Structure 1
Amino acid sequence: MLYAYTAVITESDGIFYAKVPDIDGCITTGNSLPEAISLITDALNLCLVGLEDEDICPKPPTSQADIPHTPDDILTIIQADTILYRARTDTKAVRKNVSLPAWMAGLADKRGINCSKVLQDALLTVLS
């Protein structure tokens, strides 16, 4: 799933505190602004994956104009792609048996086609 939320980043004594107010517990810190943005993006993806796994619909994003912040805060849109995040982080393989017509399996073998890879690619396309 694709999501976009606003992150609020506050700098204090060289530390950048980042949070996504719409998602409970989505907070992190970084030593620089780019690091804070990278870490809050990762945190947002992780939080949203957890919500999806629990079948909890995340709160819709609040308009930036309605997010409480100080004038010194940095507000930035953070994009999350939970399908891509899962593909990058959850690499454990699970065995699934698939039935194919004999002619199809034979032709795939003759052509050196990896059926597992084809199925993964097809599922990724359908799930995205």
Structure 2
Amino acid sequence: MKKVYPVILTPDQGEYLVEVPDFDIMTQGKSLADALDMARDAICLTAVDMQEDHKALPKASAIADVKAPAGSFATLVDIDVEAYKRRLDSRAVRKNCTIPSWLNSKAEAAGINFSEVLREALENRLNV
């Protein structure tokens, strides 16, 4: 689920404070890019928690309705909650596969990590 939410950024001694009004949360970043990444992370983490609690996500405010105080500015942050959840789910899943005995012997002799090779091959094949 992709959405866009407004945030308010306030420069503070070379860093940025970030307010996310629709979620009533705050975060910060060491640079503008870091602040936007932190905002995205905070929104997604809060959204995942809300979904697990069967709560609806807040409707995104229009950027024109967001009033930034003097010295601050409003911008938009895009989120993809489903992609964020996939990144969080890094648990290992056991899979059995069959290969020829001669190939197994050569791979073991070469110290090949079968799980790593399969993961890399799947990521390559799926372009992820």
Unmatched tracts of structure 2, length 5 or more = 99-118, 120-128
Instruction: Verify: 1:30 aligned to 2:29, yes or no.
Output: yes
Q: How much does 1:77 deviate? A: 1.1
Match of 1:98 in 2: none
What does residue range 94-109 of structure 1 map to in structure 2 within 5 Å? none
Distance, in Å, in 2 between the alignment partners of 1:42 and 1:7 is 13
Code of the residue aligned with 1:50 in structure 2: it is D
Runs of 4+ in 1 over 2 A off after TM superposition: 92-95
Q: How much does 1:94 deviate? A: 6.8
Q: How much does 1:93 deviate? A: 4.8
Identity %: 28
Q: How much does 1:12 deviate? A: 1.7
TM-score (norm 1): 0.67
Unmatched tracts of structure 1, length 5 or more = 96-108, 110-116, 118-128
What does residue range 1-128 of structure 1 map to in structure 2 within 5 Å? 1-25=1-25, 27-93=26-92
Moved more, 85-94 or 59-68: 85-94
How many equivalent residue pairs?
99
Q: Deviations over 1:84-110 (max 9, x none)?
A: 001111222578xxxxxxxxxxxxx8x
Q: Deviations over 1:21-67 (max 9, x none)?
A: 00022x21111111101111111111111111111112211111211
Task: Describe the SS at the equivalent of 1:6.
Answer: strand
Code of the residue aligned with 1:70 in structure 2: it is P
Distance, in Å, in 1 between the alignment partners of 2:64 and 2:83 is 29
Q: How much does 1:68 deviate? A: 2.3
Q: How much does 1:72 deviate? A: 2.6
TM-score (norm 2): 0.67
